[in-house]
Structure 1
Amino acid sequence: MRGLAITLSFGMGLLSLSQEIAWVRLVSFGHEGRPHAFAVVLVAFLLGIAVGALLGGRHCRGDGPLLPVVARILALAAVVDLGALRLAPWLMTSEPTAELAMLAPFLINREADTLWPLLALMLLIGACAAIKGMLFPIIHHLGSQSSQDGIGRSVSRVYVANVLGSALGPLLTGFVLLDVLTVDQVFVAVSLGAAALALLVTLQERPAPSAAAWRLPVVAVALGLLNLLHPAASLETIARLGGGTLRHLIQNKHGVVHVLAGSGGGDITLGNNVYDGRLNIDMRVNSNRLDRGYLLATLHPQPARVLVIGLSTGAWTQALAGMPGVERIDVVEINPAYLELVQRYPAVSAILKDPRVHIHIDDGRRWLKRQASERFDLVVMNTTFHWRAYVSLLLSTEYMQLVRSRLAPGGIFAFNTTGSLDAMLTASQVFADVVRYQNFAYASDRTMAKLPDALQRLQASRLPGGSAFAAELFASGELAEQLAHAPLERAGDYLARSQKPGAPPPEAITDLNLLTEYRHGRPPLQGRLQGWLPPTPLRP
């Protein structure tokens, strides 16, 4: 019995924490990578485990056999996990849908408040954790009942087994399973694991269990196998709820990339369910706003070495590769799924065969830190929205100082502020000169101005199959002519005219204050916690 208790303790720790990682992936995708996603899952999980432990403790006070109880709880956990996976996507929409109204009309009020679906989601996560949490006190009770070495030693062994399983679960799931399995398959694997433990416990029952005792474990296994044949497609469901026709969806341990069909302006790419560019390089359409990249051709006379942080659709790298003077482009991309995506679209796949383009699968900041001897004429970063989790690491003062140290004399750092005044101010405090074009900041230690031959440089820019700009785009008032001659706006002027009365002034982002994510990003929990936050921006 002691060996069974240790096995169950290890198994439940492994399964529970594996499922928590899968929940984080699912909720983060559904909530567009906002910082609160992990906290939502963690709070729901901890509360669920606590409630489950209280309920499970009641079973230890009687004299009845505990193994049948354990088997039923394990089988119930397996079934509930599968049901939760089917229901969860409908609780993670930015606006309540008709399907949500049909499934749970009591969750929606007349103002279409999205707080209630969030609370329902937390309740769902907590229920999965609570059922498994019920087993923890029961398993300890089983271990202490059969121990000949004393209760203290028995409890410690069972507890250590649970700790080992809980430590292995996130490592196994986060670093291995999510690279070979989908989120749905991880949920099913957890469900089948619980069902298998239910069968194991049933086999250990003495006297031999009746036929009725096998029903629930067998049903749990059957449902798990059925879900392997007919997966829930949870991420696909969330993606389609956002609107549009889903073309591709690629999952790995780094995240989720999917593509929606676009009309006219190319297919739309989303990274972890947030807009990440369009698969289009036609400057007559300019749906990808590549003019922000081509502005660099009018500012730097000889951009021989270029660094791109973030591959995305490959459109920006393709545009930079066609600018006059470019000899080598290093691209750092953390998610190899984008390589698979680029291969599927001929308009951008040429960069994979261009000998000047070198793609590195790595974290952008880590890679840049390791290149102490490298110097780049251009560092271009069209990365994700400033309000998403961990993006401060690519917008902070410390990061910009690192970029500045890797620029060659006269080099330019161009990045997407995504409308963050904090990001623009941070660049202004690190670099001697910062100018703005649309939502991009262009930072350098030299004073930037349009080159005298800016128009000619744009005319010389190429794409596979011809010129980057059609002839009509050089007419007066058209895109290429404006890029070459329109005056630059200094960051200071932009910040002064953009400050709203009564709004907190912009502040420099640091690695410690997470300013854009928690204070000036999208309010967490649909704004419900905004009033609880400190009245002034957080400081390190």
Structure 2
Amino acid sequence: MTPRTGRLLVLAGVFICAACGLVYELELVALASYLIGDSVTQASVVLSVMVFAMGIGSLLAKRLRCRAAAGFGLVESALALVGGLSAMALYAAFAWTGDKGEVWEGGSRYLLVAFSLAIGLLIGAEVPLLMVLIQRIKRQDPSGAVSDLFAADYVGALVGGLAFPFLLLPLLGQLNGALITGAVNAVAGGALVFGLFRHDLSARGRWALLVANVTVLGLLASAAVLVGDFEAAARRAVYGKDVRIAVHTDIQEVVLTGGRNRTLDLYVDGHLRISGRDGNRYHRALVDPAMNGGRHARVLVLGGGDGLAAREVLRHRGVRRVDVVELDPGVVRLARRDPALSELNGQVYRDPRVRVVHADAFRWLRSPPRTYDVVISDLPDPVSTASAKLYSQEFYGLVRRTLAVGGRLAVHAGPVADRPRVFWTVEATLRAAGLLTEAYRVEGASADWGFVLAAGSPPSRTVLEPRRTAAPLPAGVMSAERTRVQGLTPSTLVHPRYAN
């Protein structure tokens, strides 16, 4: 083999290993954001810890330079094992300790930091060892060797970074994607050492490295065979034994438990969105105050792809059109086709007055086709980076432009008792957008919900006054004023004020 060919093979190995390393980083960020929430915090923790550990790993690699080939082979085997199994380990901790609440919240972060630290240490040890190996093929100026290695490393990181969201995640999912990446990592590292530098190893070293690689590949293959059963068992541990449907849409994981003879619950990304025990009370409390405040011929529902908010809207006479803006077509498809869920929402999507738009609510509101008498905001709680923009001053400014004269906006703002600062920040943000507000809360059998009714002008009646209408409010509606937190700053796109 010519030195030129040898250098190209080493750089190809650098390329593959760098791609695998970045996939591990993104796997940790994505899974931690899904399990823990607040994607900015999780990304910051993973990336900062990992970069710090890479520096420490580079220093520790000095001790392996005299046995660079064996050291590199063992580092890649360890990296493939730790990185490949990291997603399963995090998911297992979430599934079997998640019911302990604060135990999981604290322990998960320690586990996330531990994996970030271990993977960073191993990635950091790669380049110094590769620097030694590439110089053994052909001596060259150190600056040129470093430039070649880092060029291959950065290009590999680019490919890994693009492959994760566009290839691995949609086709394989998080668990299988990490396992396949680990297998590729182990094969690439082993092939590089045995193909080019086997003569640098003693006979015992070759056997030890071969056994290590075969063991790692065997463990990853076993995990891949069992991943379906593992995921099913983890789902039962998280959602109970009544899991009936679990689908990964292009946007999120949607799980349905129960059915016709049992309480129906709908979970989105591990969070309960609909409870059959409290669903009717929640949606009536969200919809009825806005609908009873004046005209309601044209209604806009933001989120609410499950159809339950639209069902409550259609209970009111005089509704001519309901537009549902839902980002995830998978949720609407499930609401149309699943017998239990479609029965719960009253087959609302068969009503010709209901029209569905699959779009991001923020973007859609920048150029809405018409104004609306009522806007219902049935969106996820504002405790993650993804949902914070839908509770920002800019977002409510767009909603205000969409309201017709005398129009009302009803906002689900999360639990009052558990997160009063979040709830009252939503209210402060609505006021900062120029809307008049009235906050109220409803206590369900298993939850505490906070809502804000907002309007550009005073509604014709307040939420809490007695009413004799065909759609009275559920029992338990009360003012939230006694929980008010003073002096809160509104949330904006560039400075979100919500925290998990």
Q: TM-score, normalization: structure 2?
A: 0.81
Match of 2:295 among 282, 294, 301: 301
Matched, 1:378 2:374: yes
Specify the SS of the correspondent of 1:231.
helix
- Paired letter, 1:309: L
Answer whether contact 2:77 2:186 (CA < 8 A) is retained: yes
* Counterparts in 2 of 1:85 and 1:179: CA distance versus 1, 3 Å: closer
Map of 1:155 onto structure 2: 146
Q: Could you tell me how far apart the structure 2 residues matched to 1:136 and 1:119 are? A: 27
Deviation at 1:482, TM superposition (A): 4.4
* Counterparts in 2 of 1:508 and 1:182: CA distance versus 1, 3 Å: same
Which deviations, in whole Å up to 9, do the C-alpha atoms of 1:324-382 show, x marking residues without a partner? 333333322233332343232332383444444333333211222243x5322222112
Matched, 1:219 2:189: no
1:273-352 aligned at under 5 Å gives the runs 273-278=270-275, 286-304=280-298, 306-342=299-335, 343-344=337-338, 345-347=341-343, 348=345, 350-352=347-349
Match of 1:71 among 57, 73, 76: 73
1:223-262 aligned at under 5 Å gives the runs 223-231=219-227, 239-242=235-238, 244-245=240-241, 246-252=243-249, 254-261=251-258
Deviates most, 224-233 or 437-446: 224-233
Q: Could you tell me how far apart the structure 1 residues matched to 2:96 and 2:88 are? A: 18
- Paired letter, 1:506: L
Which deviations, in whole Å up to 9, do the C-alpha atoms of 1:115-168 show, x marking residues without a partner? 455324411332133223321222233334435663323321221221122123
Map of 2:157 onto structure 1: 166
- Paired letter, 1:286: N
Matched, 1:181 2:172: yes
Match of 2:191 among 200, 204, 210: 200
* Counterparts in 2 of 1:249 and 1:433: CA distance versus 1, 3 Å: same
Equivalent residue pairs, number: 467
Match of 1:392 among 385, 388, 392: 388
* Counterparts in 2 of 1:229 and 1:116: CA distance versus 1, 3 Å: closer
Q: Could you tell me how far apart the structure 2 residues matched to 1:424 and 1:34 are? A: 24
Match of 1:510 among 489, 492, 500: 492
Map of 2:425 onto structure 1: 422
Query: What percentage of residue pairs aligned between the two structures are identical?
Result: 18
Map of 1:135 onto structure 2: 126
Map of 2:452 onto structure 1: 441
Map of 2:419 onto structure 1: none
Deviation at 1:184, TM superposition (A): 0.6
Specify the SS of the correspondent of 1:331.
strand
Deviation at 1:207, TM superposition (A): 3.9
Q: Could you tell me how far apart the structure 1 residues matched to 2:234 and 2:179 are? A: 18
Specify the SS of the correspondent of 1:266.
coil
1:82-161 aligned at under 5 Å gives the runs 82-92=84-94, 115=106, 118-147=109-138, 150-161=141-152
**Coordinate RMSD, CA, aligned:** 3.6
Answer whether contact 1:33 1:273 (CA < 8 A) is retained: no
Structure with more helix by fraction: 2
Deviation at 1:448, TM superposition (A): 0.7
Match of 2:365 among 365, 368, 393: 368
Deviation at 1:29, TM superposition (A): 2.6
Q: Could you tell me how far apart the structure 2 residues matched to 1:362 and 1:403 are? A: 15
* Counterparts in 2 of 1:79 and 1:430: CA distance versus 1, 3 Å: closer
* Unaligned segments of structure 2, at least 5 residues: 1-5, 417-422, 442-449
Deviation at 1:416, TM superposition (A): 0.8
Q: TM-score, normalization: structure 1?
A: 0.76
- Paired letter, 1:230: L
* Unaligned segments of structure 1, at least 5 residues: 101-110, 459-479, 523-540
Match of 1:54 among 47, 52, 59: 59
Answer whether contact 1:53 1:133 (CA < 8 A) is retained: yes
